[in-house]
Amino acid sequence: MFRVLPVLIAAVLAAGCAASGGDEAGGADVADGTGPITFATGRDTTAYLQPLLDRWNRAHPGEEISLIELPEEADEQRAQMVSNLQARSDRYDVLGLDVIQTAEFADNGWIIPLERGRFPLGTFLPQVVDTATYKGKLWAVPYTTNAGLLYYRTDLVSEPPTTWAELREQAIKITKNHEIGGYAGQFLAYEGLTVNFSEAVSGQVLSPDGGRVTLDPARAGAALDFLRQGVTEGWIPRNALAYKEEESRLAFQNGELAFARNWPHAYGPAREKLGDRVAVARLPGPDGPGVSALGGLNLAVSAYSKHQKTAQDFIAYFTGPDNQRRVLTEGSFAPVLAEIYDDPALIRRYPYLPVLKESILAAKLRPATPNYNQLSLVIASAVAKAIGSPSEQSTGAVVTALTADLKESLNPQ
């Protein structure tokens, strides 16, 4: 208890210093400011970023960028960025923002609006620019996009399932005949589970502005039953209830699962481990191909950065065509540059590109609201409990309680 005090005092002092620094920093001088910058973004799990940053650094002496790796998980990344920005610290210049964070960061004045003409927005896939736009202004520049995909083992699956019923049937058969788990996604209570649930209800949880609950009880019930059934019947291994992206990626590539829901960045490493025994398909849905959530990372400039011109020049460079190719070839991430998905040479090398493009184009955005994080926590914790303890509450009761809790979060009494 007593050890907390000095830490608190130090934090308050640091916040005070940073605050005055931030205030002085405001205005035209920082907008034109050039010099060394930092790039704060989630942990680079495939270790591809530094060489890309080195290319910029070699060409921009005096304006070098250094990488600050934040935690791997979406909610923890947000928490670290928020505490830094609330303290008005100038430690982060370029922020790697999850697409769901634009509204919150813009609304709080933590990032600066950007001039559209400075960035190659017209070359990007449709929709991705919407994730960086809020109240008519551009607040960030799309860097990678994302859509959930179904990974499967070609040596065990002859035709990938397009419906949940087919997935269940195949998973049951495979787990019976082979020493392997059936299916997993991201089922721990955090943003990843909100994504898995949103996909299962085709994005219908909240209205696009996050102001209304749009959850359809029948759809939500079917989605929960599908996942609950997986756990009770054993084709979703129980340890998958603790999976985030990394755990599910590793389980699949280590041969522990026949099917997995993950983002495209799991493809490169899985191919390295499993070769031709891995392929991807659209996510299955209740009665045909399902709907992915549109994910991705946008690059924003901190309002407290002292070198905002360099930060914006770097963003223009990093989202440009040359680097966008490297995002795919070096990082196995989904680029935002549209032409990449139709490049025959790249399609030969990455046969999953057409499926990925289809999934991205059909993907649904999560709502753009400053209190997204709070709403998402409500969803993730209700869904985690429902899948983890299927006998505790009927599916109908879970959906009723979740709907009431979301309404309460939107309009607290």
Instruction: Indicate the residue type of 287.
Output: D
- Of 315 and 336, nearer to ligand GLC (C-beta) is 336
- Of 63 and 199, nearer to ligand GLC (C-beta) is 199
Backbone φ and ψ of 148, nearest 5°? -65, 140
- Of 162 and 262, nearer to ligand GLC (C-beta) is 262
- Of 89 and 373, nearer to ligand GLC (C-beta) is 373
- Of 192 and 290, nearer to ligand GLC (C-beta) is 192
What's the sign of the alpha-carbon dihedral 346, 347, 350, 356?
A: positive
Coil, strand or helix at 375: helix
d(CA 274, CA 264): 15
Nearest distance, CB of residue 192 and ligand GLC, angstroms: 4
Greatest Cα pair distance, the chain, in angstroms, is 67
Nearest distance, CB of residue 199 and ligand GLC, angstroms: 11
- Of 74 and 141, nearer to ligand GLC (C-beta) is 74
Nearest distance, CB of residue 95 and ligand GLC, angstroms: 14
Ramachandran assignment for 44, one of left (phi > 0), alpha (psi -120 to 50 degrees), beta (any other):
beta
User: Nearest CA to 301 among 73, 132, 135, 48?
Assistant: 132
The vertex-190 CA angle with 184 and 196, nearest 5°, equals 40
Residue 331 near residue 178 (C-beta atoms within 8 A): no
Binding site for ligand GLC (CB under 6 A): 74, 98-100, 146, 191-192, 195, 245, 263, 295-296
Token pair listed for 301: 């400039």
Token pair listed for 162: 């397009």
Q: What Cα–Cα distance (Å) separates residue 309 from each residue in 39, 58, 75, 371?
A: 14, 18, 29, 30
- Of 347 and 365, nearer to ligand GLC (C-beta) is 365
Nearest distance, CB of residue 246 and ligand GLC, angstroms: 10
Backbone φ and ψ of 283, nearest 5°? -65, 145
Nearest distance, CB of residue 10 and ligand GLC, angstroms: 31
**Tell me, what DSSP letter sits at residue 299?**
E
- Of 163 and 371, nearer to ligand GLC (C-beta) is 371
Token pair listed for 110: 């933590």
Using CB positions, name the residue nearest to ligand GLC.
295
User: Cα(first)–Cα(last) distance of the chain, in Å?
Assistant: 34
Token pair listed for 76: 């923890």
- Of 99 and 206, nearer to ligand GLC (C-beta) is 99
Nearest distance, CB of residue 145 and ligand GLC, angstroms: 8
Token pair listed for 255: 């041969």
Nearest distance, CB of residue 41 and ligand GLC, angstroms: 11
Token pair listed for 320: 């440009």
Token pair listed for 102: 């634009």
Residue 378 near residue 385 (C-beta atoms within 8 A): no
Nearest distance, CB of residue 295 and ligand GLC, angstroms: 3
Nearest distance, CB of residue 264 and ligand GLC, angstroms: 10
